[in-house]
Amino acid sequence: MDLLTLQGLLMTGLLRGGLYALMAVGLALVFGVMNICHFAHGEYYVLGAYAAFFAHVTWGLHPAIAILVAAVLSFLAGAVSEKLLFYPLRKLNQSGWVMNAFLLTAGLSVVLQSTYRLAFGTKYRGITQYWNASVTLFGMTVAADRLVAFGIALVTISGLWLFLQKTPTGRAIRAVSQDERGAMLMGIDLDRIQTLTFALGSMLAGIGGASLLSLSPAYPYAGSKPLISSWFVVTIAGLGNIYGAVVGGFIVGLFESVSYFALGQGWQEVASLLLLMLLLLFKPTGLFGTNIKTVWE
């Protein structure tokens, strides 16, 4: 492997890692606060992609606004699905929450996928580029879209970090993730926080789907690859660890691009699985796993 290939691999790995980090942060947030293993996360990614496509192509909006539209729509979709599904589940049956909520998201995923297929067909809806430009970095030409998507991911994650650290609502979210009962006793409105968390998680996925529209077009099943990868990230980083998910995203991004280059389709998945097995053998809580949450089942 010569230096240029290595550089290329590192570059694609990093850029891919940005998306994984964005998606995985959403997953980790939802798991950390609500104890939901979110299996329909990829469907919000697809929603974002569709929204951006229609906003940008059909209505001819500026890319930045299109991505914003996608963010708002997926935020709203997340809020609505939380109120419609997880809120009643929480009120009606408390026992076995983790498993029930997981199955619920599995059902939701199927319903959303089939709805997209019925509404938009199986056609690939993509664009060639948002911004017609390319940048030369370390002697390599990179499409501006990839860099912008990477930038959006970083900005969004930093924005979320600021929100969680500095604002009262963000603090309330972290409080709920640490101790639900304690947070409730401090007068935090749990229902509101949980709806907000789910909406935020969905928004992160939606932004991911929207900003990568030129690289991966929108179609009903586009969410499954990002979903698998981001679950992989979260399992490696430690379930529910938001900041671990960011680092994990880059690790997995690099690992996938290198192993794909070296092994090819099929064996790349085996390599990922082996990595996960080793991790579960030696550090089952994940690389950055902590025991902040004890409510598991």
Of 39 and 50, the one with the shorter C-beta distance to another protein is: 39
Tokens of 179: 């101790």
Q: Which of 103/254 has CB closer to another protein?
A: 103
Residues that bind another protein (CB under 8 A): 37, 85, 88-89, 92-93, 96, 98-100, 102-104, 106-111, 113-115, 118, 224, 228, 231-232, 235, 239, 264-270, 272-273, 276-277, 280-281, 284, 296-297
In angstroms, rounded to a whole number, what is the distance separating the alpha carbons of residues 291 and 283? 13
Cβ closest to another protein, residue 28 vs residue 210: 28
What is the closest distance, in whole angstroms, from the C-beta atom of residue 118 to another protein in the complex?
A: 7
Asked if 22 and 157 touch (Cβ cutoff 8 Å), the reply is: yes
Rounded Cα distance, 185 and 112, in Å: 36
For residue 257, the minimal CB distance to another protein (Å) is 16
CB of 19 to another protein, least distance (A): 19
For another protein, the closer of residues 155 and 270 by Cβ is 270
Is the Cβ–Cβ distance between 29 and 193 less than 8 Å?
no
- As measured in angstroms, the least distance from the Cβ of 270 to another protein is 6
Instruction: State the nearest-atom distance from the C-beta of 56 to another protein, in Å.
Output: 28
